[in-house]
Amino acid sequence: DTAVSQTPKYLVTQMGNDKSIKCEQNLGHDTMYWYKQDSKKFLKIMFSYNNKELIINETVPNRFSPKSPDKAHLNLHINSLELGDSAVYFCASSQDTLAGGPYEQYFGPGTRLTVT
Amino acid sequence: AQSVAQPEDQVNVAEGNPLTVKCTYSVSGNPYLFWYVQYPNRGLQFLLKYITGDNLVKGSYGFEAEFNKSQTSFHLKKPSALVSDSALYFCAVRDSYSGGYNKLIFGAGTRLAVHP
């Protein structure tokens, strides 16, 4: 009965590879997010989707492409991985921010990506 | 520029003593403020939020936060610290230029260490 789940938990890969991280929430939320937490624990939003529509798109290399097949899922695909992509990536969800709020976000356990 | 500052990298407190984790913010318009906690190798967990109303906000696990508009602060407090409170604490403010979307700007985090 995990609220926000991510797979995989750990991902070790070589430079130049392409990888995906999957996220699912069973909270019935309309909005989902991807965050990057670097080695100094600094947390920054990358993308957000509301009802499968991209609403927040921060300055992120276009090697990163989010996809939301339905409002319970938000995946992150990364092409041509670089050393600097090593970080922990968190998925989160919240109620529809345009229907009141602001609402708190519920975070997944994170995916630790290591690029060698 | 909108920002959140957590001036202390680490706060040390003895178990049973009161604790304060400091946060100041800079944002246009009315601030919407949040506190989250991150335990090792876990995602962030919501503690409390300030939207409007009483300046003292009560949250999870006995935590509370005091909103002070004149000092642009939102300090997290607890009357009696527990060893299990040891974790990384993040203050966040909603970006007032995000068009109503829940784009959060996070502080750098403060590590709380509670000693027996």
* Inter-chain touch B98–A109, beta carbons under 8 Å: no
Burial class (CB in 10 A: 0-12, 13-18, 19+), B89: buried
B-chain CB neighbours of A89 within 8 Å are: none
CA atoms in the 13 A half-sphere facing the CB of B68: 12
Write out the residues of chain A at the interface with chain B, using a CB-CB cutoff of 8 A. 4, 31, 33, 40-45, 48, 50, 55-56, 90, 92, 94, 97-98, 101-110
- For β-strands B24-26 and B3-5, DSSP reports them as antiparallel
pLDDT in tens, B16-30: 999 999 999 999 888
Residue A15 predicted with pLDDT over 90: yes
Q: Check residue B39 and give its pLDDT.
A: 94
Q: Check residue A114 and give its pLDDT.
A: 97
Task: Search chain A and give the residue with CA nearest B88.
Answer: A41
| Section A69-97 average pLDDT | 94
Point out the least confidently predicted range of A32-36, B7-11, B13-17, B92-96. Answer: B92-96
In whole angstroms, what separates CA B88 from the centre of its chain? 10
Tell me which residue in B44, B102, B109 faces A101 most closely, judged by beta carbons. Answer: B102
Compute the Cα dihedral for A93, A96, A98, A104 and give only its sign: negative
* Inter-chain touch A97–B42, beta carbons under 8 Å: no
Contacts of B89 by beta carbon, 8 Å cutoff, 6+ apart: B6, B21, B35, B36, B37, B38, B47, B76, B109, B110, B111, B112
pLDDT in tens, B68-96: 999 999 999 999 999 999 999 999 999 88
Residue located via tokens 């109503």: B100
| Section A35-64 average pLDDT | 92
**Main-chain phi, psi angles of A84, to 5 degrees:** -70, -10
**Sorting pLDDT into bands at 50, 70 and 90, what band is A1?**
low
A-chain CB neighbours of B100 within 8 Å are: 97-98
Residue located via tokens 């991807």: A34
Residue located via tokens 């993308």: A47
SS3 content of chain B, % helix, strand, coil (to 5): 5, 50, 45
Tell me which residue in B42, B51, B98 faces A109 most closely, judged by beta carbons. Answer: B42
The distance of A109 to chain B (nearest Cα, Å) reads 4
Tell me which residue in B34, B104, B109 faces A45 most closely, judged by beta carbons. Answer: B104
pLDDT in tens, B27-72: 988 899 999 999 998 999 999 999 988 999 999 999 999 999 999 9
